[in-house]
Chains A and B, each alone.
Chain A
Amino acid sequence: MTRKTRTATILIAGALAVGLTAAPASALWSDCPSGYACVWTSTSYPGSPNAKTASLSNLADVSNRGNSIVNNGKTSVARYYDLAGCSTGSYIVMNNPARGGQSRDPLLSNGTDATTANWANKISCVKFS
């Protein structure tokens, strides 16, 4: 199977499986305090975040368990890293809300607005930059 066909198949299967549901109306991503970047282990930001930081956080118990994220910060961007330490390796970016683009994601299993790569259960560190 070619890469494109495989990507399309995976995406379509994923769409059918999860229904590509938007965040439910009760989702409270605003439970992430202003000025913070947050991580939830469940999708769609249910309740208080499982990790939050106003600067940098090396995740412990929730490392590799993040499924929804929000940037409510005062800096340009929040970076969510695959590797602990927030210094190297692959990372995804959430803008602060005023920048546009993406500032939160309810369902990392189908990627972010910037990528189709699965980022569920992958984040180990969060920092503002």
Chain B
Amino acid sequence: MTGSRAWARVGMLLALCITASGCGGSTVTTPLTPAEVAERYGYNTATSTMTPAYALVPEYRNPLDGYARDLLARECLQGVVDYQVVRPVPGDTELEEFRTGQAIFNEGVALRFGYPIFRAPATNGLVVDESVTMTEDILTAMKDCGKAADKRLGLIPDNIPFLIESAGWEAAATDPLVMSAASAWKACMAPLGIADLPEVPDLMPPPSMFPRWAVDEDGNYQGYLDLALTDKERDVAVADARCRGEAHYDEVRFKARVVGELQAIAADPEGFEAARTEFADYFQGISEVISALG
């Protein structure tokens, strides 16, 4: 966190302590149960395809925020550099969930792409053409435009939903059912004889599947290599996807995340409600920019 923002946050928390409870350990919130949270917001744990942080805070990590900022950048950078803007199209792509940015990996993806990390995506989010040399003048102008965007829009109030989402991921990482599903996946993958098979499917593909030339001068593995898809890679990827499905890994992990997120909301329902209001206010400015420039 940058210094000025951190100070502002500490100041806000101190003010909250002084006015609300004196920071002496007394509560400023009334905890709920996870079931009460789900009921309050009409969140259906059986049918929802998004975790609560995304389903109940529609503005959280909503691509329209970035779109509005890109529109402002394009206008601000006129005459400096051609800043390209692509309007986000709602709906998951073949490889990524629209709202969450989580990768989609199934047998269809594996069959067609192998492991997508080895291939540059068709849309790579470029806003400045690859042929443009980024000079210091361009970079300085970009920074100035960024400051102007912040002045107009304010900063996105991500903290509470991010902490809730993080709580979900942490809950999933230690959930016995998730660990059991990971073990089942690993047993299913064992016949492939991959020496450095990871403990969880999230870490596929392992380092042994990267070509040696993909290791850069710092020793890190570069991806998006435009590698030709070999039969061997496809076979491993398809088996991986099938084993994940048979172990119900994604499904079990999603449920664990939902439980973890509901627990986090339940611990501080007022804070969550305040975050929802803050996001709605912030997005009024986003909508105004899109109406004017989109």
A binds B: yes
CA distance A129 to B207 in the complex (A): 22
Q: Are B219 and A98 in contact (CB under 8 A)?
A: no
B153 in the interface (beta carbon within 8 A): yes
Contact pick for A61, options B28, B126, B162, B219, CB 8 Å:
B219
Interface residues of B in 4-54 (CB under 8 A from A): 4-7, 9-10, 13-14, 16-17, 21, 23, 25-29
Q: Are B159 and A115 in contact (CB under 8 A)?
A: yes
B83 in the interface (beta carbon within 8 A): yes
B273 in the interface (beta carbon within 8 A): no
Residues of B contacting A129 with CB < 8 Å? 101, 121, 124-125
Bitwise interface map of B from 200 to 237 toward A, beta carbon under 8 Å scored 1, else 0: 00111101001000011011111110000000000000
Residues of A contacting B72 with CB < 8 Å? 100
**Nearest A residue (CB) for B160:** A115
Q: Are A101 and B143 in contact (CB under 8 A)?
A: no
**Nearest B residue (CB) for A92:** B162
**Nearest A residue (CB) for B121:** A129
Q: Are B218 and A50 in contact (CB under 8 A)?
A: yes
Q: Are B69 and A34 in contact (CB under 8 A)?
A: no
Q: A15-B6, A74-B127, A85-B204 known; A101 and B218 CB under 8 Å? A: no
Q: Are B117 and A86 in contact (CB under 8 A)?
A: yes
B194 in the interface (beta carbon within 8 A): no
Residues of A contacting B202 with CB < 8 Å? 83, 85, 87-89
Residues of A contacting B5 with CB < 8 Å? 113
CA distance A101 to B210 in the complex (A): 34
Q: A4-B271, A82-B169 known; A99 and B4 CB under 8 Å? A: no
Bitwise interface map of B from 74 to 95 toward A, beta carbon under 8 Å scored 1, else 0: 0011000001000000000000
Residues of A contacting B73 with CB < 8 Å? 98-99
CA distance A103 to B83 in the complex (A): 17
Bitwise interface map of A from 73 to 114 toward B, beta carbon under 8 Å scored 1, else 0: 011110100111111111100011111111101111011111
Q: A22-B4, A74-B130, A101-B69 known; A115 and B218 CB under 8 Å? A: no
Q: Report which residue of B13, B128, B138, B165 has the largest number of chain A beta carbons within 10 angstroms of its beta carbon.
A: B13
CA distance A76 to B142 in the complex (A): 12
Interface residues of B in 106-136 (CB under 8 A from A): 116-117, 120-121, 124-130, 132-135
Q: A89-B202, A116-B1 known; A95 and B147 CB under 8 Å? A: no
B139 in the interface (beta carbon within 8 A): yes
**In the complex, the 10 A-B pairs of residues with the closest C-beta atoms, listed nearest first:** A100-B149, A34-B134, A56-B223, A22-B3, A87-B103, A114-B158, A98-B142, A98-B73, A75-B125, A100-B146
| Inter-chain pairs besides A5-B27, A23-B3, A58-B223, 5 sampled, C-beta below 8 Å | A1-B25, A2-B28, A62-B220, A86-B223, A128-B124
Q: Footprint of A on B, CB under 8 Å?
A: 1-7, 9-10, 13-14, 16-17, 21, 23, 25-29, 66, 69-70, 72-73, 76-77, 83, 101-103, 105, 116-117, 120-121, 124-130, 132-135, 138-139, 141-143, 145-150, 153, 155-156, 158-159, 162-163, 165-166, 169, 202-205, 207, 210, 215-216, 218-224, 267-268, 271
Q: Footprint of B on A, CB under 8 Å?
A: 1-5, 7-9, 11-12, 15, 20-23, 34-35, 50-53, 55-62, 72, 74-77, 79, 82-91, 95-103, 105-108, 110-117, 127-129
